[in-house]
Amino acid sequence: MSRQLLLARHGQSAANAADVFTGWSDPPLTERGLVEAHTIAATLAGFDIMPDVMFASALHRAIHTATIIRDDLCLPLEIVSSDALNERDYGDLTGMNKAEIAERYGAEQTLAWRRSWVSEPPNGESLRDTAARVLPYYLREILPSVLDDRTVLVVAHGNSLRALMMVLEGVPPSAAETVEIGTGAIRSYMFEPNSRIASASWLAGHSGVC
């Protein structure tokens, strides 16, 4: 019996390393990102956790991270990929350097675009918009697997996972900026049969860069 949900953020991407807004752009993992992906697998193995089901976004950095984990753990499963789990769409900010955007538009506006619940980057998604596409997918595809006594691993992105964590943990919109998940971090939830969360913990640190 398991009913465990694991949320892991992909390893560092080339855009993370260059400090640019990544969003729906599709950069590869860096060397460090590859190491972080292997480390996620090693951490899960250290806890004796073998996922039965794996989900990833449709973006390369998440699929590559998930594939490394699956292969390192020799898991005989297909990774289910969906763009519902993609990173928040950063719209016109995509590909722009974060420090330069902060200089041009001010630190406060930039922080609002990056960390508030409702602020929409120009032609992009707010965190609330991101939650509105992640949550239906979670309820329809992911939660039923967890409640079927599985260990389910979801490999996705800083903001698609933050949106999900906020809802799972009942974090109010006013506290959106307190929820962070660094590259290579793993958040674990144990569920009761009635879908209540019995416990939440970090299996690997949540304070990575970007």
Ligand X SMILES: O=C(O)[C@@H](CO)OP(=O)(O)O
21 binds ligand X (CB under 6 A): yes
Distances (CA, A) of 115 to 90, 108, 121: 12, 10, 11
| Strand partners of residue 190 | 4, 199
Distances (CA, A) of 138 to 16, 45, 84: 26, 25, 9
Residue number with CB closer to ligand X (96 or 135) = 96
Residue number with CB closer to ligand X (17 or 80) = 17
The residue type found at 168 is L
* Strand-by-strand arrangement of the 197-204 sheet: 79-81, 53-56, 151-156, 4-9, 186-191, 197-204
Among 11, 54, 90, 176, binds ligand X (CB under 6 A): 90
Active-site pick, 31, 36, 60, 87: 87
110 binds ligand X (CB under 6 A): no
Please confirm, yes or no, whether 10 is among the known catalytic residues: yes
130 belongs to an annotated ligand binding site: no
Query: Catalytic residue numbers?
Result: 10, 87
Query: Residues interacting with ligand X, by CB under 6 A?
Result: 16, 21-23, 87, 90, 114, 158-159, 210
Question: Which residues are annotated as part of the binding site for substrate?
Answer: 9-16, 22-23, 61, 87-90, 98, 114-115, 158-159
